Structure 1
């Protein structure tokens, strides 16, 4: 073997490994509609074997399960087993919180598997004066104490991503970050309109870093296992699982009538998967969820499968990496994820400046999923043109394109509460 041959073989091995892991340099993001490739949208009402679905019973019996199983095994990943035990403990309660406007509870949820445990805290506000209230359940990004300036809300101890603007350093939340994300949670307005809020810091379920050693996954490992198997869950599926474990408590709280699951950005992806996997959620809201959320993969607009697997290799199952930069061979698309939530109410929201999340792709997903809602006699999105900015479409399936950037605003919450009053309350 020549010296050149000795060099080439290791290089080929490295390139092959990087390609398999989805870690090769990614093409620049496309923001030009004229460069969106021609693609075929998989028909949600035609089975993988080519059989046409004509009614809701056939959908339930023949099509829904095969779509669900594909997403479960090839995209988000399968939960490997059942828990051995779980528990709930109300660790703090004040019936006159927020100047008497709310009842506040803080509940520790305990999960146990293979003699290993994980705990996370739910912050719950319920409006005073209501016998029962509907509740929005959603994750927050940096700790329950960031969504309110309420001094009694517990600061999490779990790993936290550093953020100078939010006064988080050394991967640890402190008192300095209390209330820094209040603008994303219209808590007073929720309470005034008869809604409650339940929120959880997502890092208590699974810290958002490419390390499967210190979150929910590790409870389920066999001896010497250090990461999920190829078709097992990534972080998005773990966060969705955590939402369902929060629901285990909420559905038994006698002051709660129903629960609408909500999520923004990566946590919007988790909310959609939670809604697809757990029909106890009475409604689902996806806010700017983008690639791997509501946006169509096959448009290759903004963030793509290659980009997301390269930047966040822990979010999806390992098996999903084979579709990096190969959207054309994927036999499903995200409108079918939305369809799995039917006939329950679903709201998808975009922001006009959030091109990375592909607002048009999010809108088209709602259009293509609407035919499944139609099987149940529910109204989806029948608008053929891209909607005007700040002009919501509110049916059982709802959509709006908001002015502004990637964020959650008071405008968004106003639309969600108006919609929930009719369709999801």
Structure 2
């Protein structure tokens, strides 16, 4: 179901696999997909821990001038701006402020979804007068007596795919072609309703007393190499004064998450002090970058975000900088690709991105069969953010030992690795809800 998110929609390999892989064979096709594309690039991924070369991580608590950071004030005033600037320059690009003229329009509302359990709203968020919009789908517990905390995240195929209900409008935006779901000419259809419902577990979230807000990432920028031409990196240029190449698609998607937060702050049914940003895969990368730039997100959840997300970049395991920047060059700024052959020259690593979340609760999740995303590297990234959390008097993972499958570890920084493949499963949501209960209830 998610092969279309691994390859550019225009690639021949993408087309072959999407036309020939049945849903039952998709996990096999995924492995084949990665192997074939890697082979086509002359790239052989390392999946042997004993073959990971030695590496040195930058210390998040040492400034570029070599000064130790020993206080929260020094961290906030000196090191945070420094680290954020490094990620902007070398990895993701700029993260512009929101437009002054953002406005919101409730397009529709219903209390009939999920047998009356959900109060649902479709809200259009306009980015100024001529810069476009995104459609936010918000589900709230219908019987809530007070404002509720909300999980917020972007989806891959349109709002109508997160729940099978005809009330939710189909997206009219560009989507990846997909023969399994009869998507052609980059336009969706009725047969795609609810096809990613298992990734969102809306009813489970509502039953736990939380809301969930989502939007289609293609509302912000279509996910292909030419997507910037019609996405917000172009349409927002009069407001941001940034050239499209000064920020990547991950930044554009992350920026959209902040605009969703703008709306949630205005909704009287939402506890805006307890909004939790969550993202899977490339949208996990976007969620992390959004949270690094927007402290309004009170909790941060990375699900299988891998290279350029939670996984350590300096580790030679699974996907690499060279592979990701050649396959998805539009996600990052061009400078990131220059480190493909010399990772030691990269002045940041992803544990520093994790550290920018402190002191907010942070959850990092991996999957056993998702070695491409380097689960151990994701764990180590979360672990090495621990000293910054300690600066705030918060306990991180509390161990440097990779936990057993489905045995979560950690306090303010928490981690699990579950059975199965690259996906979001009910087990993951059960852990995220439990984490939210611990910190917000």
1:119 is the counterpart of 2:170: no
Q: Residues 393-419 of structure 1: CA distance to partner in whole angstroms, max 9, x if unpaired?
A: 141111001111100000000000001
Task: Say which of 220, 237, 255 aligns to 1:241.
Answer: 255
3-state secondary structure, aligned to 2:180: coil
1:390 is the counterpart of 2:406: yes
Moved over 6 A (4+): none
CA distance in 1 between counterparts of 2:215 and 2:288 reads 16
Partner of 2:36: none
Does the aligned pair in 2 maintain the 1:282–1:424 contact within 8 Å?
no
Report which stretch shifted further, 159-168 or 340-349: 159-168
Report which stretch shifted further, 381-390 or 138-147: 381-390
Deviation at 1:240, TM superposition (A): 0.4
Partner of 1:8: none
Change beyond 3 A, Cα 1:220–1:193? closer
Structural mapping, 1:7-406, within 5 Å: 25=41, 27-79=43-95, 83=99, 85-112=101-128, 116-130=130-144, 131-211=146-226, 212-221=228-237, 228-229=244-245, 232-257=246-271, 258-406=274-422
Does the aligned pair in 1 maintain the 2:175–2:186 contact within 8 Å?
yes
Gaps of 5+ in 1: 1-23
Deviation at 1:250, TM superposition (A): 0.4
Change beyond 3 A, Cα 1:82–1:249? closer
CA distance in 1 between counterparts of 2:366 and 2:42 reads 25
3-state secondary structure, aligned to 1:120: strand
Change beyond 3 A, Cα 1:198–1:364? same
Deviation at 1:166, TM superposition (A): 3.5
Deviation at 1:162, TM superposition (A): 1.4
TM-score, normalised via structure 2 length: 0.87
CA distance in 2 between counterparts of 1:77 and 1:132 reads 35
Change beyond 3 A, Cα 1:346–1:243? same
Change beyond 3 A, Cα 1:342–1:226? closer
Deviation at 1:31, TM superposition (A): 0.8
CA distance in 2 between counterparts of 1:220 and 1:147 reads 28
Q: Residues 98-134 of structure 1: CA distance to partner in whole angstroms, max 9, x if unpaired?
A: 211110100001112xx63211100100001212111
Q: Residues 34-63 of structure 1: CA distance to partner in whole angstroms, max 9, x if unpaired?
A: 211110111111111111111211111221
CA distance in 2 between counterparts of 1:385 and 1:343 reads 22
Does the aligned pair in 1 maintain the 2:175–2:188 contact within 8 Å?
yes
Q: Residues 222-265 of structure 1: CA distance to partner in whole angstroms, max 9, x if unpaired?
A: 7xx99624xx1100000000000011000111111121000000
Cα-Cα RMSD: 1.8
Q: Residues 318-340 of structure 1: CA distance to partner in whole angstroms, max 9, x if unpaired?
A: 22221123212111100000000
CA distance in 2 between counterparts of 1:227 and 1:175 reads 37
Change beyond 3 A, Cα 1:416–1:220? same
Report which stretch shifted further, 191-200 or 319-328: 319-328
CA distance in 2 between counterparts of 1:267 and 1:220 reads 21
3-state secondary structure, aligned to 2:131: strand
CA distance in 2 between counterparts of 1:274 and 1:227 reads 19
Give the structure with higher Rg (CA).
1
Deviation at 1:26, TM superposition (A): 5.2
CA distance in 2 between counterparts of 1:305 and 1:26 reads 14
Q: How many residues end up aligned between the 2 structures?
A: 397
CA distance in 2 between counterparts of 1:358 and 1:132 reads 38
3-state secondary structure, aligned to 1:92: strand
Does the aligned pair in 2 maintain the 1:348–1:400 contact within 8 Å?
yes
Q: Residues 76-101 of structure 1: CA distance to partner in whole angstroms, max 9, x if unpaired?
A: 00145753521100000013332111
